[in-house]
Amino acid sequence: MPGTSRPLRNILLIKTSSLGDVIHNLPVVSDLRQQFPDIRIDWVVEESFAAIPRLHPGVGEVIPVALRRWRKRLWSPATWKEIGAARRQLGASRYDAILDTQGLLKSALIARQAQGPRLGHNRDSAREPLASRCYDAAFFVPKTLHAVERNRRLAAAALGYSLSPELDYGIAPPRQGISGASAVLLSATSRDDKLWPEMHWVNLGRALASRGLTALLPGGNARERERARRLAAQIPGAQAVPAMGLADLAAMLAHARLVVGVDTGLSHLAVAMNTPTVALYTATDPGLTGVLGQGWHRNLGGRAQVPSVQEVLNQLAPLLPPGN
């Protein structure tokens, strides 16, 4: 850490949610491994996203928490038993550094349960300024930077190293997956204003089918899977993908020919695995949280913008085989 020559042997990263935020934190692990090859890196994450840190071979122990589930059952004895077990697990080891890249009060309070120097954003940098009071040392990172770069710069400032220009998510793609000429269409997202019109998906899927690509449409919950079935029924050869966990979804994305997705964490996961991806934005600014990686990717749209099917096809043109 700044001002000390003490070697770093083990670090605890805290980035609990959401899916996209957790993916955006993976390059920190790669940076740390490059700087400190023998370091042990543990990670605290929301239980539903625990599969993501496990995709990086540089992560040691993944410590799941269930803040979302606990809040819904706060007065249950079982909940408090789980909370107690999580606190004991967090306090079982002493770390040379505890780095909270999330900058929220909930993540800062998790950091307080672990043993070791606690590091994070200062009040002008944290998403919730009160969180900065929970750290032993706090650092400024401009909020105007992309989320990936904010994570990387915070880690570099807190642990005293210079960043490499190379961006590496470090994921070891699963060997098994749906291979062949598949195009994964990620039509589901957490907010209705982030959705892309259904007929746009149908027309895109038909255009891809005419070029020999099979559209695969996953969905997380029952409503999303119903939409996927509705879209697939109108696209030649398309498949509505059955419900699957994050590890299986990662395998599907890793082996796809290309991915087109709305503003959702799975679009970021596709880019993290270097699968060619077009991300569609209709309600948010991709400048700060758009897909970002070393491989081929494009961000289309923005606030109150709806990319057209032709815009997507124009971007995909270099990747597509000739049409029938």
What's the pLDDT at 72?
87
| pLDDT of residue 111 exceeding 50 | yes
Lowest mean pLDDT among 44-58, 178-192, 239-253, 290-304: 178-192
Fold of 10-159: Rossmann fold (3.40.50)
φ, ψ at 49 (rounded to 5°): -115, 10
Q: CA–CA separation, 23 vs 17, rounded Å? A: 9
Lowest mean pLDDT among 1-15, 125-139, 203-217: 1-15
What's the pLDDT at 39?
96
Give the N- to C-terminal CA distance of the chain in Å, as an integer: 60
Q: Domain-by-domain residue ranges, the chain?
A: 10-159, 182-319
**Structurally, what CATH architecture does the domain formed by 182-319 represent?**
3-Layer(aba) Sandwich (3.40)
Q: CA–CA separation, 237 vs 224, rounded Å? A: 19
Residue bearing the bigger pLDDT, 318 or 173: 318
CA nearest neighbour of 29 among 168, 154, 133, 142: 168
Q: CA–CA separation, 276 vs 264, rounded Å? A: 16
Sequence-distant (≥ 6) Cβ neighbours of residue 74 within 8 angstroms: none
CA nearest neighbour of 217 among 251, 248, 241: 241
Residue bearing the bigger pLDDT, 89 or 268: 268
What's the pLDDT at 4?
40
175-195 pLDDT, tens digit each: 665 556 899 999 999 899 999
What's the mean pLDDT when you consider all of the chain? Answer: 93
What mean pLDDT is predicted for residues 123-128?
A: 97
Q: CA–CA separation, 29 vs 145, rounded Å? A: 19
3-class DSSP state for residue 318? helix
Sequence-distant (≥ 6) Cβ neighbours of residue 221 within 8 angstroms: none
Do domains 10-159 and 182-319 share one topology? The answer is yes
Give whole-number Cα distances, 280 to 186, 275, 286, 290, in Å.
10, 16, 9, 9
Strand order through the sheet with 137-139: 62-65, 40-46, 10-14, 97-100, 118-121, 137-139
What's the pLDDT at 1?
53
φ, ψ at 233 (rounded to 5°): -65, -20
Token pair of 173 as six digits: 């793609």
pTM: 0.93
DSSP H or E stretch at residue 112: helix 105-112
What's the pLDDT at 5?
43
* Residue 296 banded pLDDT, cuts 50, 70, 90: very high
